[in-house]
Structure 1
């Protein structure tokens, strides 16, 4: 798309080079968008201006909220804590089933009403009592520079950082990005290349590469989410293959979340995911050898509970995002048999609960000195 990118929307972008024919290629993700002057990439928020790549949404957000960490979803990372969440607009995937399409597919930049510097976000997160800040709602890969600067600001104030992402990126930016993240939930949307090509406009292998890299080469805590879409990625064969790949390539301790689809964006003709499908998927993954498998977007106490792999003690009982019972040591050990539960735990206080608290970044909060 050709348009004039105003000077106030030209934050220098990383990972690009100039081609022999004069076009500029973005090297952030495998789409490798090749742009003439004034064009934007497939994500719409990264574009070419004055023969260089720029990010047009730096410092601009689609909104700020305080969420339970379980909503990301992360069940093994500071359970019960609150996370200061924000995103921008745009996405480098083209999922026909997008559940946040009004944000990720937004091409109306004026809807990004909230503005805040990385330092202001970190200060606000600390002021509101959150233990972490999450880059979410749309994919933080596309606001790479804003996310990394905010992560740096958060770490300077002792806050953790969380990425909710599809993980679709090249190796060099992947290394820089996840070096700044303390936890990540990465979407594994399907275990089928055909699904990725037809329903997301992307490819499967780069996602698998990201999962392996994050798990083995970083200190970032990893959990995985698969949105189950009836008739598209919920067959027994595919679910078994997906779970077996995780056990074989990542090990049994990486938590897997099966989340319920609701009709949206370009797949409104597909019915919602039945609760029975989620429960069945969970049992398939457990039978494949995974220790921690959850169901999401439904009321399912068993599917939300963290069971000790050793003695099956119900260590953390959840209903949706509410923690109803918590019985782990600060080190994350089962009090019944002493087995270590995989994750990042600590002193457990009063849980934040299932609240979703919008935050208005007023003129004062945007300039907090911290």
Structure 2
């Protein structure tokens, strides 16, 4: 496994090909790689160079993705590859997403290997994460099919930067997604990510209105760049108006890294204020992350206001929902995907090595 025939491309003039996977529309000569570095023109065709190769496998709590309304307390089998189709100066996983060293992808596994091992460890789902699964779409989609055959759900942790045709195929096999809405101005996207805002908003609109995928949104707040009251208000109002009040929103804290290693970390007060702004905009489920904030990690019933899932970091301290996600205090059914709660996986992170059969 490695070079694998890729989809989403077409030939253009001059003996080149154009990648149609994401809005970058990379145009490649023979041997050249796209901006993501993992899609390459070989013998006149597009190949995915990281198919079947991972930067590592781990079992995490689902809340770490973060997904707070998708089978809370369950364990998720997580993996990624290398490369990325964005160029975020603040990347928190830059050693993986910016990697051009394919030798770091030491763990080889077929889609069925992954599904088999995840099921054997009692995981409820498999997450494509650490780097953006859009760029290894063929591997992710094949693995998603294998997961469904083993009774596992699938999760995409993504920036949502994908073209419409690929988007339909990709999300047709995903059960949940956490989409990074990295900011809410075109200027921020261009300057800090090398991408554009509108395609991400289009992905969110598509997911919410045209699919059954469970969606949560994460915004990393970076001091001085995307954390103004005005921008947070605009972002929150857009979600409330275009997606509705039941889409969970996670505000997470930035820590100095990669090209923004001189930018200070996000003060906890900034996250708390952002949470208040979003709740005032009408959003029912707003969370804080990467800081110790039990209130900001707890799920409250939007009808009676009682805490129904109390969290401290990734630990669940109290759970007051039935198997359908109904508040045991007032009978209101919360938005999300729920099941019988049999205790939480907890804050553990368990590395796994796959023995290829």
Q: How does the TM-score come out when normalised to structure 2?
A: 0.99
1:198 corresponds to which of 162, 172, 191: 191
After TM superposition, the structure 1 stretch with the greater mean CA deviation from structure 2, 15-24 or 105-114, is 15-24
> Helix, strand or coil for the counterpart of 2:259?
coil
2-side partners of 1:282 and 1:22: how far apart? 52
Partner deviation per Cα, 1:104-140 (whole Å, 9 max, x = no partner): 0000100110000000000000011101000000000
1:212 corresponds to which of 205, 215, 220: 205
2-side partners of 1:215 and 1:140: how far apart? 19
Partner deviation per Cα, 1:20-70 (whole Å, 9 max, x = no partner): 222100000000000000000000000100000000000000000000000
> Helix, strand or coil for the counterpart of 1:199?
helix
1:243 corresponds to which of 205, 217, 236: 236
The match for 2:38 is: 45
1:358 corresponds to which of 335, 351, 355: 351
1-side partners of 2:210 and 2:56: how far apart? 32
The match for 2:71 is: 78
Contact kept? 2:5, 2:46, Cα under 8 Å: yes
5+ residue gaps, structure 2, are none
5+ residue gaps, structure 1, are 1-7
2-side partners of 1:280 and 1:68: how far apart? 27
Alignment of 1:113-128 (within 5 A): 113-128=106-121
Alignment of 1:215-230 (within 5 A): 215-230=208-223
The match for 2:22 is: 29
Q: Give 1:329 deviation, angstroms.
A: 1.1
The match for 1:5 is: none
2:169 corresponds to which of 162, 173, 176: 176
Answering whether residue 293 of structure 2 is matched by residue 300 of structure 1, we say yes
Partner deviation per Cα, 1:137-194 (whole Å, 9 max, x = no partner): 0000000000000000000010000000000010010000001000000000000100
Q: Give 1:268 deviation, angstroms.
A: 0.2
- Alignment length, in residue pairs? 357
Contact kept? 2:2, 2:52, Cα under 8 Å: no
Q: Give 1:9 deviation, angstroms.
A: 3.5
Alignment of 1:294-333 (within 5 A): 294-333=287-326
RMSD: 0.6
Contact kept? 1:104, 1:138, Cα under 8 Å: yes
The match for 2:327 is: 334
1-side partners of 2:181 and 2:283: how far apart? 15
Alignment of 1:27-176 (within 5 A): 27-176=20-169
Q: Give 1:10 deviation, angstroms.
A: 2.2
2-side partners of 1:133 and 1:303: how far apart? 26
Runs of 4+ in structure 1 displaced over 2 angstroms? none
The match for 2:260 is: 267
Partner deviation per Cα, 1:261-290 (whole Å, 9 max, x = no partner): 000010001001110000000000000110
2-side partners of 1:26 and 1:248: how far apart? 33
Contact kept? 1:68, 1:80, Cα under 8 Å: yes
2-side partners of 1:222 and 1:10: how far apart? 31
